[in-house]
Amino acid sequence: DIQMIQSPSSLSASVGDTVTITCRASQSISSFLNWYQQKPGKAPKVLIYAASSLQSGVPSRFSGSGSGTDYNITITNLQPEDSATYYCQQTLTTPLFGPGTKVEIK
């Protein structure tokens, strides 16, 4: 079974910073990788699908990259509303979410 690791598990950054969250799969997932944002008490929201495609309506400060086993989501010009937990998800095989990364704004 494919395993997913996310790093870091949490981070704290300032408004305007650029932050990168990494997701690593235990085997190649051929860009079948999505990124979600979840705020407390809310359902998740897809930000990036197929590793690098920006979901309609999502601000362009979010971007995704990667291939094979290693993928990143980068948030440039971090905003207060970006405070949330971010999850990666592989869908090459039976879908699996990563453990999540909590992003806090200083």
Nearer to other proteins, 53 or 77 (CB): 53
Q: Which of 8, 26, 50, 79 binds other proteins (CB under 8 A)?
A: 50
Phi then psi for residue 103, to 5 deg, are -105, 125
C-alpha pair distances (Å), 73 with each of 1, 23, 35, 83, 95: 23, 8, 7, 14, 19
Nearest distance from residue 34's CB to other proteins, in Å?
4
The count of C-alpha atoms lying within 13 angstroms of the C-alpha of 84, restricted to the half-sphere facing its C-beta, is 21
Q: Does 44 bind other proteins (CB under 8 A)?
A: yes
Residues that bind other proteins (CB under 8 A): 1, 32, 34, 36, 38, 43-46, 49-50, 55, 85, 87, 89, 91, 94-100
